Copies of this chain bind each other. A is one copy, B any other.
Amino acid sequence: MKHVIANLCIRCGAEHAPKPDRYTCSRCGGLLEVTYDYPAIRKNISRSILENRQDPSMWRYREFLPIAQDSETSGLRIGGSPLYPVPRLAAQLGLASLYIKDDGINPTASLKDRASAMAVVKAAEAGANTIACSSTGNAASSLAGNCAARGFNTYIFVPERAPKGKVAQLLMFGAHVISVKGTYEDTFRLSAEAIDRWGWYNRNAAINPYLMEGKKTVSLEIAEQLNWQIPDYVAVSVGDGCTIAGVWKGFKDLYETGLIHKLPHLISVQAQGCCPINKAFASGSSTLVPMPEDTIADSIAVGVPRNFHKALQAIRESDGIAVNVTDGEILSAMQLLGKTCGVFGEPAGVTGTAGIVKALEHGQIPATASVVSIVTGNGLKDIATAISAAGAPLSIEPDMAMLLKAFKAQGWHP
């Protein structure tokens, strides 16, 4: 890994050798960020090398990733998600150009697969074959799926309130699932103690610096799919801040190696009921003020985001904007994407799109802009919300006369 210089502490600036299982700064406990030797990367990669590469997965960008060139991956096809131009939706919104990046088609149906796939590689490099985390959501299912594919063990700690469907998915992947009778905080604490005790590899986006490096591949793909023409804005839903920080890192890495010559502005979209990062951004503060977690978008309901500083820095560096959306606006975006694009996202997955709609309404972005919206998870992950948002079908007796009457009443004119 000659192309990795060090893991830099974002708090005290200390440089650490990039060990696969060194998660935080040994001096101050701060979060680390992987720093690269960009001139070295530049020598080994170019647009045309990438264009001729067959591998459609996130691993086509190995030169940009903090892994050994011969590291074995989980085997699942992670990444390579489609980027859809959606001119009809753009026209409807009065926007010059809009693209939807559908990351819900990943093997376990969310962008988190990119981070978990990276965790599996780094665990193997550390000589581990057991990975643990505490989560009830996409991080857990993606970890379980990627570990199963690689033949690794996984221990996942969930609070007892975790939805049964998600727990079932974990069990299906063969994870050791520990349901903790307590709060999420209790669960997290027990998992940390267990990870320490047994030396499991720690898949915790909050602290593991490599996961963000996996997530950044979504930006590398967007750039390549747009033939290196970078959009003016990239909208992404924000919870604990790891994803938006990863998105930014991806574009920055491309910029630093000279593969692109422009950086997008980030649109950080949070739920109005839980928006501590956007609040800090709006007020110009760098102090985290925790918030309650009051939103249907469970994947981004994070009142105490652990990647607060990285996220804030990303929005600021990109000269970005922050938009908060209501649950109603999230549900509307869900229907809008489904109806006009054929893309079914989970609530947190479509929050970025909701933010674009709102930013346009409020004049925060110009109608002439080109915008990419990242859909981070599949709607099948949360059918209950879809049911509540979808309304009811037309209900009739099996009779043509009744059908005609019902169509008329409904205002349907086939």
Contacts and interface: CB of A to CB of B under 8 A. Distances in A.
B342 A386 contact: no
A320 interface: no
Interface in A262-295: none
A200 interface: yes
Nearest to A132: B414
Given A341-B149, A342-B145, A414-B130, A172 B389 contact: yes
A344 B173 contact: yes
A181 interface: yes
Contacts of A187: 398
A313 interface: no
Contact of A171 (B82, B180, B390): B390
B383 A165 contact: yes
Contacts of A341: 148-149
Contacts of A395: 160, 179, 181
A175 to B, nearest CB: 9
Interface string A111-155: 000000000000000000010000000000000111111110101
A193 interface: yes
A76 interface: yes
B102 A105 contact: no
A151 B130 CA distance: 47
A178 interface: yes
A36 B174 CA distance: 46
B107 A343 contact: yes
Contacts of A88: 151
A56 interface: yes
A344 B108 contact: yes
A170 to B, nearest CB: 8
A400 interface: yes
A388 B194 CA distance: 29
Interface string A80-96: 10101000100000000
Nearest to A344: B172
A363 interface: no
A308 to B, nearest CB: 25
Contact of A383 (B168, B190, B342): B168
Interface residues of A, number: 85
A170 B172 CA distance: 27
A396 B187 CA distance: 10
A197 interface: yes
Interface string A158-187: 101000110111111110111111100011
Contacts of A380: 109, 169, 378, 380-381
A177 B214 CA distance: 40
A82 B145 CA distance: 15
Given A173-B342, A178-B393, A339-B174, A403 B168 contact: no
Nearest to A340: B148
A77 interface: yes
Given A182-B397, A396-B179, A155 B414 contact: yes
A172 B102 contact: no
A151 B342 CA distance: 9
Contact of A335 (B172, B338, B406): B172
A19 interface: no
Nearest to A387: B168
Nearest to A80: B56
Contacts of A109: 378, 380
19 contacts: A75-B84, A75-B342, A77-B82, A105-B107, A145-B342, A148-B340, A148-B341, A149-B343, A167-B393, A168-B387, A169-B379, A170-B393, A172-B379, A172-B386, A174-B335, A180-B397, A187-B398, A189-B398, A194-B403
